[in-house]
Amino acid sequence: MIDDLGSTSGSDSLTPGPNAEYSDDHSAGAHRSGDRVRRGVVSFVRRSPRMNVSQQRSMDTLASTYMIEVPRDATSTSVAPGAHLDLPKIFGRTAPLTVEIGTGSGDVLAALASAHPERDFIGFEVYLPSAASTLTKLHAARATNARIILADAAAGLDHLVEPGEVDEIWTFFADPWHKKRHHKRRIVNPDIARLVASRLRPGGLWRLATDWDDYATWMLGVLSAEPLLKPVNTGPDGFSPRWDERPVTRYEKKGLAAGRVVHDLTWRRAEKS
């Protein structure tokens, strides 16, 4: 059973389960050393509440189907250097891959994985209650083409995903970390932009959304500074129209009800580096 501290009982490393299709050749990551992200600062603080009974039940019964266990480094949300995913073995096919950075309660991942059975989806999430809710929604949507990984998305992209392997990456309503001294924790930063660009195929898309004006401006500045990323369908303010396929989540509804404006950004990986 996975406990509410983010590890298997009695260990800080998750034991590989039925979906643990990865290679653990620690020499394999050497060719990607140029893409490494400095991980001294992470974009989250794991103060998540304990899972409720329903969430624990979902974790106990659905993790073996929808969760990919990966080898760990020092912490329960880390990824061991040199590990990478065998996607054809995990999904039983080769298909365009979408990665979501932070699944939240799973509304977007479940809805769009169900709507696009021709694609494969992986969501990274660090909070156990959110991961459990995502499992529940994937199961309800019968989204067998989606998996989640309980890991820091930066480490996951860095170690588990090959350059040019991803068709789309999504970052919707990430923690804005309002205080200036916490801006270093923002998941959208120059290092992540460089990493995302390297993992996208040429022409692949990074879709982002936030309902905080200052974070939207921050993201626009970060993306504009990455030479491998180019804006798509932007207006005079630099932002994109709302992506009509993105479901309106409960979080987004709360922001709109509070009078906040949602800003969408869509950036494409340049065809040539």
251 carries a ligand binding annotation: yes
211 carries a ligand binding annotation: yes
> Rg (Cα) of the chain, in Å, rounded?
18
What number of CA atoms fall less than 13 Å from residue 24's CA on the CB side? 10
- Tokens 């998996």 belong to residue: 147
Length of the chain: 273
Distance CA 143, CA 137 (A): 8
25 carries a ligand binding annotation: no
252 carries a ligand binding annotation: yes
Distance CA 31, CA 204 (A): 22
60 carries a ligand binding annotation: no
SS3 content of the chain, % helix, strand, coil (to 5): 35, 20, 45
61 carries a ligand binding annotation: no
CB atoms inside a 10 Å sphere around CB 260 = 14
35 carries a ligand binding annotation: no
Phi, psi of 101 (to 5 degrees): -90, 100
125 carries a ligand binding annotation: yes
Closest CA to 125 of 71, 187, 182: 187
Active site residue 120: no
Closest CA to 59 of 122, 167, 135, 115: 135
Sign of the C-alpha dihedral computed for residues 116, 121, 124 and 125 taken in this order: positive
One of 107, 175, 237, 244 is an active-site residue; which one?
175
Asked if residues 206 and 267 have their Cβ atoms less than 8 Å apart, the reply is: yes
226 carries a ligand binding annotation: no
Q: What strands, in cross-sheet order, belong to the sheet with 263-269? A: 146-150, 120-125, 97-101, 166-172, 200-210, 263-269, 229-231
Q: What is the DSSP letter of 240?
A: B
179 carries a ligand binding annotation: yes
Which residues are known binding-site members for substrate?
179, 211, 249-252
User: Which residues participate in catalysis according to the annotation?
Assistant: 175
Which residues are known binding-site members?
100, 125, 152, 175, 179, 211, 249-252
Which residues are known binding-site members for S-adenosyl-L-methionine?
100, 125, 152, 175
